[in-house]
């Protein structure tokens, strides 16, 4: 499996959907992992959240939502444990900071692992919903067929906004060179999307592991390197370019805040880990990433940078293919890539400082750590 593969979440045990019919149109309903279990747990062990979805809101309330697919959430979405952070309200209008950042032609959006899948979809949607420059980072510039094909379809004005950079998140030399290239080309970064991730397929890799005796040292090291160390080293190295504020009140750009977005997983939650799925290396690496996100949020806040970990739900990518079944696809348990990325960007656009450091699902719900 490609080590810098665009990350997508994991198993049907983590998230599922069922298809319902309403007025002859297929709708999708999110089914939480514990939907069929007893939900009478006390607040100390389970957290329930009702979530309003776009088709239930007014046109004004849905302004800015970009997802093309329509999903209905069950009234009670249950996670074990109590989240530390407040939910991100997707029914709210965009805050001024997001409107300004998205309209700023000088804003720079960096995507780590943009060659295909979710990383490429981030590039596509950022081209459409922002006016800024897009830095697509790939391991082999010029040898990324899906990205190259997409760039060939862009109008000249759009193509000029995109620049491709070399980056393997496991190589410190690549990370340091990227910082130099971005500094020379732009002198700033407004949003960093850490999309690279690896899970394994159990056929050509030792994991994901289902038993403790399947743990493999080299596979565990690779999971930590791609899923945690790489994103954190990239965030560290680009932090000076992300700085949006000097002191308490001197802002360095019109949008005031910059953002670091990390793709995480529900299975990384310690509180929500009720079994039976094991996946030792993947869980451990993403849990470590969550800790890095929350810890760095305290420090980065002082320079006007927010950071967040997002759980996409099970999305139709090469990474999730080994764990998809025909029944899952037929029942709508696998999210379209454009829906997932659109919903994650909706969350990013509605973030406030109080959300920085949090772990959220694709619905904007805070997940307990």
The DSSP call for residue 14 is T
| DSSP label of 43 | T
Residue 286 lies in a domain: yes
CB-based contacts of 33, cutoff 8 Å, min separation 6: 13, 14, 15, 16, 78, 266, 272
Interatomic CA distance for residues 349 and 145, integer angstroms: 29
Rama region for 172: left / alpha / beta (φ>0; ψ in -120 to 50; rest): alpha
Counting the structural domains of the chain, the total is: 1
CB 9 within 8 A of CB 15: yes
Q: What is the CATH number of the domain that holds 30?
A: 3.40.50.720
For residue 15, give both structure tokens. Answer: 């998230």
- Taking CA atoms, 291 is separated from 6, 231, 262, 296, in Å, by 21, 12, 12, 8
366 assigned to some structural domain: no
What is the mean pLDDT for each group of 10 consecutive residues in the chain (369 residues)? Answer: 37 34 35 34 39 32 46 55 93 92 97 95 97 97 93 97 98 98 98 95 90 96 97 98 87 86 93 88 96 98 96 79 75 83 96 96 93
- Assigned domain for 3 exists: no
Q: Is residue 181 part of a domain?
A: yes
* Structural domain includes residue 314: yes
368 lies in a domain?
no
Residue 56 lies in a domain: yes
DSSP string, 317-350: STTTGGG--HHHHHTT-SB-HHHHHHHHHHHHHT
The domain of 258 spans 15-361
Helices (H), the chain: 96-103, 117-129, 145-153, 156-159, 172-185, 217-224, 230-242, 280-300, 326-330, 337-349
The whole-number pLDDT of residue 65 equals 54
Cα 187 to chain centroid distance, Å, stands at 25
Is residue 34, in this structure, part of any structural domain at all? yes
């Amino acid at each position: 499996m490609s080590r810098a593969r665009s990350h997508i979440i994991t198993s049907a045990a983590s998230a599922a959907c069922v298809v319902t019919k309403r007025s002859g149109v297929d709708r999708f309903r999110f089914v939480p992992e514990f939907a069929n279990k007893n939900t009478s747990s006390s607040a100390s062990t389970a957290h329930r959240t009702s979530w309003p979805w776009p088709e239930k809101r007014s046109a004004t309330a849905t302004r800015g939502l970009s997802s093309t697919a329509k999903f209905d959430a069950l009234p009670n979405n249950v996670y074990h444990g109590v989240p530390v952070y407040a939910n991100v309200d997707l029914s709210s209008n965009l805050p001024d900071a997001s409107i300004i950042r998205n309209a700023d032609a000088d804003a720079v959006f960096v995507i780590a692992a943009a060659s295909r899948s979710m990383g490429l979809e981030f590039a596509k949607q950022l081209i459409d919903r922002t006016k800024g420059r897009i830095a697509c980072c790939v391991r082999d510039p010029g040898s990324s067929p899906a990205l190259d094909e997409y760039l060939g379809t862009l109008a000249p004005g759009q193509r000029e906004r995109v620049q491709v950079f070399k980056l393997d998140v496991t190589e410190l030399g690549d990370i340091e060179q990227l910082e130099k290239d971005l500094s020379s080309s732009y002198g700033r970064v407004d949003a960093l999307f850490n999309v690279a991730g690896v899970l394994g397929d159990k056929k050509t890799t030792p994991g994901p592991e289902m038993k403790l005796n399947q743990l493999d040292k080299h596979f565990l090291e690779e999971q930590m390197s791609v899923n945690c160390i790489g994103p954190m080293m990239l965030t560290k190295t680009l932090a000076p370019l992300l700085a949006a504020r000097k002191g308490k009140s001197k802002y360095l750009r019109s949008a005031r805040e910059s953002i670091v977005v990390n793709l995480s997983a529900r299975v990384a939650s310690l509180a929500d880990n009720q079994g039976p799925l094991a996946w030792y290396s993947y869980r451990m690496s993403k849990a470590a990433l969550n800790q890095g996100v929350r810890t760095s949020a305290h420090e980065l806040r002082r320079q006007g940078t927010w950071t967040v970990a997002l759980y996409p739900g099970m999305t139709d990518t090469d990474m999730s293919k080994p764990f998809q079944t025909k029944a899952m696809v037929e029942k709508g348990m696998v999210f379209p890539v454009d829906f997932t990325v659109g919903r994650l960007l909706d969350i990013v656009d509605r973030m406030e400082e109080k959300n920085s450091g949090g772990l959220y699902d694709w619905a904007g719900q805070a997940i307990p750590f």
